[in-house]
Amino acid sequence: MRPIRSLLLPILAVAVAAPGMLAAPPAQAQNFFERLFGIKPERPPVPPRGLPEAPPAPAAPGEPGPPAAPEAPRPAPAPARPIVLKTPSEDGVIGQDLQLNGLSGTLKLERSGTAVTARIKLPGTKISQPAESCTVPLAGGSPVTLSAEGKPEGVPRFEAAGAECPLRFDVTEGGVLVSSLGAGPICTFSAADCATTPVGLWGPAAATLIPRAGEFDTARGVADKAVRDNYKLMTQRARREDVRPIVSEQAAFSSDREQLCRTYAREGTHGFCHLRVTENRALALATRLGANTATPTAAVAPRRPRPKPAVEGMNPDAAGGGDVLPE
């Protein structure tokens, strides 16, 4: 009986499960018989290589999607060009009465045929009494012929190398930067008992510059940006061993500009000296970068925050800028 019973047990199990297996889907029924009799399922067919695969199904909301394909490498940016500001012309200062720092002395550039001459009175202090001021007319007040030196740093340059006080004149917009060609910045005239210091910016008096303070402020932003861009471009093009001198030179320019312009009359109000010195610096850097200063490029001024419009019912002139008007 035991052998017959052992054979009947699997048959009875199949009979009991048959009604449910008939109602189950074919895949579930097949899995049941595979587990019952120990039949291993066949592996799904592998698609042949080279056939396009179906696109992945879109991810459900809230689930991370498939990883994005890596982006193709972007082309390298085109090499930057130096920023070239408008180059000043000597015609803008010919015939103008200029003063050192807008305060003392006189300088007037004039044309004599094709040459440029200068009438200049140098301001200084008395050698015997340093507390007193004095002026010395160069060449006894006669016009001094200047030699044209071209534009080695992007702006017109003239020199009076043979004068009693040898000087260099670099033209700016509305002024002239004067530097010494001698051993130092001081020229001494013993016969006149006067020691002169003509180095600095010769320009208009402060009273004529203050109404243009807004114009100078906007132009200063353009000039500062041009200096920064040209300085960065110069460091990018330079060899590694040449970068440190360029950085030192740029740092020295900032301090030299501050020292040069702090004595200009009312400089903190109009900013004329800082603007002109910065413009000439930008043109000098552009020239060293090989740019043609005869064709200025567009330099965009940095954006300034616009004032918020006054809200109805608010007092824009109040100290806090937003006090409610009393009814």
CB 82 within 8 A of CB 230: yes
Task: Please say if the pLDDT value at position 139 is more than 50.
Answer: yes
Which pLDDT score is estimated for 7?
Answer: 52
**E strand segments, 211-287:** none
Helix (H/G/I), strand (E/B), else coil: 87: coil
Give 197-255 pLDDT, tens digit per residue.
Answer: 999 999 999 999 999 999 999 999 999 999 999 999 999 999 999 999 999 999 999 99
- Separation in Å, CA 86 to CA 25, 129, 226, 297, 298: 86, 45, 11, 8, 9
pTM of the model: 0.69
Which pLDDT score is estimated for 326?
Answer: 42
Which pLDDT score is estimated for 266?
Answer: 97
Tokens 């210091």 label which residue? 197
- Separation in Å, CA 324 to CA 59, 121, 125, 154: 54, 60, 59, 55
Helix (H/G/I), strand (E/B), else coil: 122: strand
121: part of which helix (H) or strand (E)?
strand 115-126
Give 163-202 pLDDT, tens digit per residue.
Answer: 999 999 999 999 999 999 998 999 999 999 999 999 999 9
Task: Please say if the pLDDT value at position 36 is more than 60.
Answer: no
Confidence of residue 296 (pLDDT cuts 50, 70, 90): confident
Residue 203 to residue 276: CA distance in whole angstroms = 10
Higher pLDDT, residue 14 or 169: 169
Task: Please say if the pLDDT value at position 40 is more than 60.
Answer: no
Confidence of residue 318 (pLDDT cuts 50, 70, 90): very low
CB 158 within 8 A of CB 148: yes
Confidence of residue 87 (pLDDT cuts 50, 70, 90): very high
Higher pLDDT, residue 124 or 326: 124
Confidence of residue 138 (pLDDT cuts 50, 70, 90): very high
Which pLDDT score is estimated for 322?
Answer: 42
Confidence of residue 297 (pLDDT cuts 50, 70, 90): confident
Residue 294 to residue 233: CA distance in whole angstroms = 20
Give 44-79 pLDDT, tens digit per residue.
Answer: 566 566 555 566 666 566 666 666 666 666 655 545
Strand pairing partners for 210? none
Helix (H/G/I), strand (E/B), else coil: 69: coil
Which pLDDT score is estimated for 26?
Answer: 55
